[in-house]
Amino acid sequence: MRQLRLVSICTALLAGAAIASAQDATAVVADVARAMGMSGLKAITFSGTAAFGNFGQSRTISFGLASTAIPNYIRTIDFEHAASLATGDTQPPQARGGPPPQPGTYLQHITPADTAWAQQLQIWTTPWGFLIGAASHRPTVQPRTVDDVRYRIVSWTPDQKAPSGASYRLEGFVTDENVLERVNTWVEHPIMGDLLVETRFANYQDAGGLKVPSQIRQSQGGMETFVVSINSVRINPDNLEELLTPPPAAGRGGARAGGPGAGAPAPAVASEKLAEGVYRITGGYVSLAVEFKDYVVVLEAGQNEARGLAVLNETRRLFPQKRVKYVVNTHAHFDHAAGLPPFVAEGITIIADDNNKYFLLPALGSPRTLVGDALAKSRKKPVIEGVEKKLVLRDATRTLELHHVEKLEHTDGMLIAYLPKEKILFTADFPVPLPGQPVNPSTTTLIENVTRLGLDFDRYVTVHAPAPDRPLTRADLMGTAPNGGAGR
């Protein structure tokens, strides 16, 4: 009886503490909103210069992201209806050895119907959005010291749920001076699991009574992916509908959170025999299934979980008596690595370029409470074997060579596969140009590497199948070189 009474007392104390925390947080949110001059704020337009990092597609996958400039960035947010429009002209970076980059258009359009957290977080991680959302979502507050700075961490949970069914959450870092310095949230990512999206605000200025940061910097997974310097602000613009209407024929871009191919349906799968024990798997990003005496190797997992599962299932249909031992990741760009989680969930070892190994290990091994995929359910950790220059898999039936591609601007962690007996070369992201079109600089680099390595192949198999799909030969690749690939 006494134990029951103690449990009841503890429960009551915890409930009281939760109510007190909510009350304290509501007061903190109100104080910060008042200090920022947010009374009556319903919408905002700001403009300036911006840039976004090529997250998941840069030459180095985990640092030094290539940056695309937006010299005339304009963004409008309607907080009442959870809508936003950002536009501008883009100036991509100059690729080494490539043609001058062509200017483009930037468009990030979020409507009230776009309820996915990967989109909505772009509204609610702004300083004003965070406080408006917190005021209506039962916030809590806890003290925390970070880098010797004391903060009050205000947390709240949005209405959206993650694919796993878990709740998302936001954390706002408030100083003793009632300055909101940072907002953190997490979003599901097919490779990086619970991906931290951190947004920092610097050098608040007064704009018609409203406090506006001069600079907003956003990072994902510790990599800076977006920066905007604000030089003009309009509060509650009277032409809001016009400002939220995207320009005609604008290109889409800028949705930098979330995963490649998230939610995509499983593609149709087909396979064709290239040689005894070697099959080309189509229906998405092309994969190769290669049979050895005691196991099977899959080259390329595909662009998302659905494709990874489809490739894995088709491989097992082709070789029902043998285990899939390895999956080869050609390179770690997100559209080529997002199909790996189903393989990790099955305990299959990844073979990756050594430059990507130490990105993929922590990324695929990170918490996945939001993702709800096969890997999250299996709770397996990745096993990765790195390739520095060359790795050969060989037994009595087969030899498979994996080679690092040197001096490639597209990525510093690219592997190509070569089957010497079958004379098959398998690659990713080295397109064969259409007649009359210029040769991609990456393809020129591949030819130089193939020549250096002395790879004698007849058939050329690519992850990105040509359109229309047709068999490719040595002549298709080597014939794009100025000398036709001579001098091998």
Give the mean pLDDT of 291-314: 97
Give the contacts of 137 (CB within 8 A, at least 6 positions apart).
156, 157, 158, 159
Average of per-residue pLDDT values in the chain: 90
Evaluate if residue 77 carries a pLDDT over 80. yes
Question: What CATH architecture is 270-478?
Answer: 4-Layer Sandwich (3.60)
What is the reported pTM? 0.88
Q: Which amino acid is at 117?
A: W
Tokens of 313: 């299932």
Residue 294 three-state SS:
coil
Which pLDDT tens digit goes with each residue over 430-477? 999 888 888 889 999 999 999 999 999 999 999 999 988 999 999 999
Evaluate if residue 20 carries a pLDDT over 90. no
Query: Residue 136, exposed/middle/buried by CB under 10 A (0-12, 13-18, 19+)?
Result: exposed
CB 429 within 8 A of CB 331: yes
Q: Which amino acid is at 462?
A: T
For residues 73 and 65, give the distance between their C-alpha atoms in angstroms, rounded to a whole number. Answer: 20
Give the mean pLDDT of 335-363: 97
Evaluate if residue 279 carries a pLDDT over 90. yes
Which pLDDT tens digit goes with each residue over 91-150? 988 666 566 777 899 999 999 999 999 999 999 999 999 999 999 999 999 999 999 999
Task: Provide the pLDDT confidence category of residue 321 given band limits of 50, 70 and 90.
Answer: very high
Classify domain 26-243 at the CATH topology level. Answer: outer membrane lipoprotein receptor (LolB), chain A (2.50.20)
**pLDDT score, position 21:** 55
- Residue-range domain boundaries for the chain: 26-243, 270-478
For residues 323 and 368, give the distance between their C-alpha atoms in angstroms, rounded to a whole number. Answer: 26
Q: How far is CA 431 from CA 268, 334, 464, in A?
A: 23, 18, 8
Give the mean pLDDT of 310-320: 97
Which pLDDT tens digit goes with each residue over 196-243? 999 999 999 999 999 999 999 999 999 999 999 999 999 999 999 999
Q: What is the percentage of the chain residues whose pLDDT exceeds 70?
A: 89
For residues 426 and 279, give the distance between their C-alpha atoms in angstroms, rounded to a whole number. Answer: 12
**pLDDT score, position 388:** 96
Instruction: Tell me the torsion sign for CA atoms 316, 320, 323, 325.
Output: negative
Three-point CA angle 167, 123, 168, nearest 5°: 10
Evaluate if residue 18 carries a pLDDT over 80. no
